[in-house]
């Protein structure tokens, strides 16, 4: 069977981390998180890590050029080509989205999954978990950034008929079931 090539979007607090794990278990795809890749580069003290560390600390975005380069290299590796992937945290801009489709060429994407949880619900969930950085102001700021930064990228994929919106409300198991159904029936755009 053709491996799944997926992108997942979801606000903080939407349950994206857990559902990514379920997608990996179910479809045997490789989880690719650009945030994890950058954090690994910082921890290893590579040249890339030294370049991105101050950007990450300030909460800004790494340049499209550097981000696209790191993804391009990883997507070309045999394990990813053979097993497929679920991209998490990339693309974050329409420029990155365009580069992604260009690098996949005829293989294309199977689907772009949008795990949809209303703003009021994710705000309530984040407040309930009570982390130190989850002040009302911090929560509002991070959620606003998602609307500014990520929503235009989801729209970019919607225009190309690739987005599967999955209702993220309900129990973890219910959401997993919806996701698996949606992805299983996706044929790519």
Tell me the residue nearest to ligand AMP as measured from the CB: 35
Name the burial class of residue 83, with classes exposed (0-12), middle (13-18) and buried (19+) by CB atoms within 10 angstroms of its CB. Answer: middle
Angle between helices 119-129 and 136-149 (to 10 degrees): 140
Q: Which is nearer to ligand AMP, 53 or 81 (CB)?
A: 53
When asked if residue 15 is in the footprint of ligand AMP (CB under 6 A), the reply is no
Query: Within positions 16 to 75, which residues make up the interface with ligand AMP, using CB under 6 A?
Result: 34-35, 38, 55-56, 59-62, 67
**Identity of the residue, 35 or 118, whose beta carbon is nearer to ligand AMP in the bound complex:** 35
Q: In terms of CB distance, is 65 or 106 closer to ligand AMP? A: 65
Among residues 121, 92, 93, which one has the least CA distance to residue 15?
121
**Is 13 near ligand AMP (CB under 6 A)?**
no
Cβ 38 vs Cβ 88: under 8 Å: no
6 binds ligand AMP (CB under 6 A): no
- Check: CB of residue 99 under 8 Å from CB of residue 68: yes
Interface residues with ligand AMP (CB under 6 A)?
A: 34-35, 38, 55-56, 59-62, 67, 89-92, 96
């Amino acid at each position: 069977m053709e491996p799944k090539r997926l992108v997942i979007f979801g606000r903080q607090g939407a349950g994206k981390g857990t559902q990514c794990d379920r997608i990996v278990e179910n479809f045997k795809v490789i989880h690719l998180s650009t945030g994890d890749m950058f954090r690994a580069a910082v921890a290893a003290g590579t040249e890339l890590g030294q370049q991105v560390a101050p950007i990450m600390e300030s909460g800004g975005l790494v340049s499209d050029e550097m981000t696209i380069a790191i993804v391009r290299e990883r997507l070309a590796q045999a394990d990813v080509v053979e097993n497929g992937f679920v991209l998490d945290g990339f693309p974050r801009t329409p420029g990155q989205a365009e580069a992604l489709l260009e690098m996949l060429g005829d293989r294309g994407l199977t689907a772009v999954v949008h795990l949809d949880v209303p703003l009021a619900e994710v705000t309530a969930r984040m407040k309930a978990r009570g982390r130190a950085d989850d002040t009302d102001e911090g929560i509002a700021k991070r959620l606003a950034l998602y609307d500014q930064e990520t929503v235009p990228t989801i729209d970019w994929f919607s225009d190309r008929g690739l987005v599967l919106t999955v209702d993220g409300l309900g129990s973890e198991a219910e959401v997993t079931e919806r996701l698996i159904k949606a992805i299983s029936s996706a044929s790519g755009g």
